Amino acid sequence: MSNDQPVVLDMRKNKLLIWLGALTLVMACLPTASTPFPTLAPGAINTYIAQTAEAASTQTAVAAPPSETPSATPRPTFTGTTSPSPTITFVFILPGLGVSGTPTLPGLGSGTSASKYGCNVFSTEPANNTVFAPRTDFEAKWGVKNIGKETWYRATMDYVYYKGAKLHKVASYDIPKGAETGKNVYLTVEMAAFKDRGTYTTQWALKEDNVYFCPMTLTIIVE
């Protein structure tokens, strides 16, 4: 063996020792393995959820206000019913506003000397039950005396159709002139007999505002 062989062996040993030392140092610097998580027993999660729900229910029950105890329902008390007193109703009926086919107009009054409005019909032309041919034109005229307390003024007093056969051509007129108490006035209406034969009666009245009085009636026969 030559003298160079021991030197080579020493160098190889030194390199091997250096590598082992380096390996040892590297291994020492590596982090240790993490500790494994403990394994949960079967059913542990369900138990935890149940305990949490129970605790929440208990806290809610404590925080809730106490419920009111229902009070007893009072029994109804029966008291006597007072009968209502009768109500007085005033009905004002104007000519021509009643239900068709039903007599609704009240009877007219002539009044007296003590009345605010009063009249006396002292003449009627033509006479009642005068005979006319069908469709004959004629003139009805009533002589009327004011016997009431109020003066009749032409501006406010009318004579109008009130009820019965509509023989007239115009249904309303102004009185031709004013009439003080005790004075007379003549009221004229243009009329025509109906085409059909028969007996017909028409009635007119004096009118002041909504007051109707002084019935003026005429009956004719159509043949």
Closest CA to 218 of 142, 135, 109: 142
pLDDT for 21: 73
Identify the helix (H) or strand (E) that includes residue 107: none
- pLDDT per position as a tens digit, 166-181: 999 999 999 999 999 9
**pTM recorded for the entire structure:** 0.53
When mean pLDDT is compared over 17-21, 53-57, 84-88, the highest value belongs to 17-21
Share of the chain above pLDDT 90, in %: 48
Q: How far apart are CA 213 and CA 110, in angstroms?
A: 6
Q: Which CATH superfamily is domain 121-222 in?
A: Immunoglobulins (2.60.40.10)
- pLDDT per position as a tens digit, 143-197: 999 999 999 999 999 999 999 999 999 999 999 999 999 999 999 999 999 999 9
Share of the chain above pLDDT 70, in %: 57
The mean predicted confidence, pLDDT, of the chain is 76
Question: Average of pLDDT values for 1-17?
Answer: 60
**Is the Cα torsion angle 110, 183, 158, 189 positive or negative in sign?**
positive
Identify the helix (H) or strand (E) that includes residue 184: strand 184-192
For 138, the token pair is: 């004629």
